[in-house]
Amino acid sequence: MIRSIAWVFMAAPLFGQAAVVDLLTAKTAARLAAFDSNFDGVAGVAAIDLKTGRELCHHCETWFPAASTIKVPLLVEVTRLIRSGKLSYDQRVAVTKADVVPSSGAYEKAVQGAGSLTVRELITIMIQNSDNSATNKLVDLVGGMAAVNTRMDEMNLPGIRLRRKMIDLPAARADRENIATPLDMARLAKMLYSNKVLDPTSSREILNFMRLVEGDVRNAVAPVRTATKTGALDGVKCEFGIVWLENRPFALAVFGAYLGSESPVPGITRILFDHFRKLDRSNAAGRYLE
């Protein structure tokens, strides 16, 4: 089922009246709809209030190309194998020129130098530099794409699917694109925030890697702390993660397809940040307390 814009509303306080937060939410939803209607391309958005659990959905159950955001679900499976002792952060992995695919500068440098990288180094350049060769090497280390999809199923996140390695154009032409719904990506971010991905230590370690990313979300909300993963392909821009407002942290996932020259991530992030910043500054009645 494809939802357009919907909030999970709390019960109205008195006689069925809307709470002021519901009025604010309706206005935010209208701003998102207006942004999307005037945008060159299509966008899907999910945001979760990490204080109340309320979910914002704008085409959030639609499949979008996941681009490099799919690297975090892969990292979840890598981390699981580290916890089980089947891999270790310090384990060295041979890197060869034959493995190099486009957008793999950090990997290529290692090929020319040490000739190997530790699992920690592979993870770091996969997340921070979005290195595609490192990603493909980690796909092999976890036993293939099915292992990642099985992990997402076990986490009740069926809207996330790894269906090809990085820069596999024949697979993309055959419609085996890596795909995700904004809602399940935002829910993955919520699980990380709540220390419910594998175990608290694993959740924190995954977020520490994501904090290395400097993307559109961080630029839109600076100096507020973030942990995100970006993604980009021809006609595609996306980003998901967490924004740590002091009193109203929130998870978000913004995905765009059929795009022109503009990414939807900065504009949508600013709309969401404005909404949650108002909640962050106020009490339940809408009075600012700063």
pLDDT tier for residue 11 given thresholds of 50, 70 and 90: very low
Q: Closest Cα partner for 177 from 66, 17, 62? A: 66
Q: What pLDDT, on a 0 to 100 scale, did the predictor assign at position 10?
A: 40
Q: Is the pLDDT of residue 290 over 80?
A: no
173-182, pLDDT tens digit by residue?
999 999 999 9
Q: Is the pLDDT of residue 280 over 60?
A: yes
- Per-residue pLDDT, averaged over 30-55, amounts to 94
**Cα 219 versus chain centre, distance:** 16
Which of the pair, 216 or 6, is modelled with greater confidence? 216
| One-letter amino acid of 197 | V
Please name the helix (run of DSSP H) or strand (run of DSSP E) that holds residue 22, with its range, or none.
helix 20-37
Give the single-character DSSP code of 230: E
**Cα 119 versus chain centre, distance:** 22
In this structure, how many other beta carbons lie within 10 angstroms of the beta carbon of residue 12?
A: 11
In DSSP terms, 179 is beta-bridged to 65, 161
Domains of the chain by residue range: 1-62+181-290, 69-158
CA distance 44 to 252: 11
Pairing status of strand 160-161 against strand 55-58: unpaired
CATH superfamily of 1-62+181-290: DD-peptidase/beta-lactamase superfamily (3.40.710.10)
Token digits for 176? 């085996």
Q: Is the pLDDT of residue 192 over 50?
A: yes
Q: Is the pLDDT of residue 156 over 60?
A: yes
- Close Cβ partners of 254 (under 8 Å, ≥ 6 residues apart): 43, 44, 45, 182, 217, 238, 239, 240, 264, 265, 268, 269
**Mean of all residue pLDDT scores within the chain:** 92
Q: Is the pLDDT of residue 111 over 90?
A: no
Q: Is the pLDDT of residue 71 over 50?
A: yes
